[in-house]
Amino acid sequence: MKIGIAQISHGRDKKGNLDKILSLISEAGNNCDLILFPETCMGVKTDRLSLSDMAEDIENGDFITAVRAACKESDVHACVCLWEKTETCKVYNTAVVVAPDGSTKAVYRKLHLFDALSVKESDDMIAGSALPEIFEVCGIKCSLAICYDLRFPEVFRASALAGAELFLIPAAWYAGEHKVQHLQTLLAARALENTCYAACADICGGRFSGHSAVYSPFGLCGAEAGTEDDVIFADILHENILSVRGVLPCLKNLSTVFRKP
């Protein structure tokens, strides 16, 4: 399986952000099996525009409908993060994986809202209540997590025990002192401790750090972007997963104390 990781900067215009995503699906679709986009794909809130103003239905809204059409046109999977409309003034922060036939392959609502470091996502968002589901792309078992979830290893261990081999992680990782080091360390740790690949697509520019990357099951960085818009590619090799798990059987050796009866 080949993955494309789209690192993008976004503006405050939802239509412009959508156009950038559609263009990248068209351009990169011929070079990969799945293209991963960052968190906050629709844009960020402003003084005049709330997340609820941008939110849409994740099945039939204009944004996801356009992404479905682009995936069908380019015969590629895509993972995009949307502000999902709810019956309240708050939104779900939702990752949707669209299959090459335009159907929904997986949905995940962010479990851990970033109420830290002077940010309070819970003012505008509702936390999800379900662990990520496992789904296959080209024979690789995948699961989802979003940004701040990276700081909670329980999400990734649960996915690995459920069969995951590749973590797909959209992010809008804020820039700041030590923040890039945090991102790199957490990606390496989540990959290594679960002997899985970990792929992160991050927003760049302005308040965000960039440095999208993919890490191997041995915790090694296989590809990394800088701080500008970019698309990086990596091969996700099933034989590499099996090889690492053969010599480093962390999941197999996990104490039964931590396994459900």
Query: What pTM was estimated for this model as a whole?
Result: 0.97
| Angle, alpha carbons 194-243-212 (nearest 5°) | 50
* Per-residue model confidence (pLDDT) at position 261: 66
Q: Residues 65, 82, 42, 144: what is their CA dihedral angle, to the nearest 10 degrees?
A: -110
106 exposure class (CB count in 10 Å sphere: 0-12, 13-18, 19+): buried
User: Using one digit for the tens of pLDDT, what is the confidence trace for 185-195?
Assistant: 999 999 999 99
Q: What is the mean pLDDT of residues 206-217?
A: 97
Domain extent, residue 86, equals 2-258
CA-to-CA distance for 146 and 39, rounded, in angstroms? 7
DSSP per-residue string spanning 82-147: EEE--SSSSEEEEEEEEPTTS-EEEEEE-SS--EETTEEGGGTEE---SPPPPEEETTEEEEE--G
| Angle, alpha carbons 201-182-83 (nearest 5°) | 40
* Per-residue model confidence (pLDDT) at position 260: 72
**Rg (alpha carbons) of the chain, rounded to whole number:** 17
* Per-residue model confidence (pLDDT) at position 196: 98
Q: What is the mean pLDDT of residues 87-110?
A: 98
User: Using one digit for the tens of pLDDT, what is the confidence trace for 25-69?
Assistant: 999 888 999 999 999 999 998 888 899 999 999 999 999 999 999
User: Using one digit for the tens of pLDDT, what is the confidence trace for 107-126?
Assistant: 999 999 999 988 999 999 99
Give the strand pairing for 140-144 and 166-171: parallel
Q: What is the mean pLDDT of residues 129-142?
A: 98
Q: What is the DSSP letter of 42?
A: T
- Domains of the chain: total: 1
DSSP per-residue string spanning 142-181: EEE--GGGGG-HHHHHHHHHTT-SEEEEEE-PBP-TTHHH
Residue 100: phi and psi, rounded to 5, are -60, -20
* Per-residue model confidence (pLDDT) at position 177: 93
Give the catalytic positions in this structure.
Answer: 39, 110, 147
DSSP per-residue string spanning 217-246: TTS-EEEE--SSSEEEEEE--HHHHHHHHH
Residue 56 belongs to domain with CATH number = 3.60.110.10
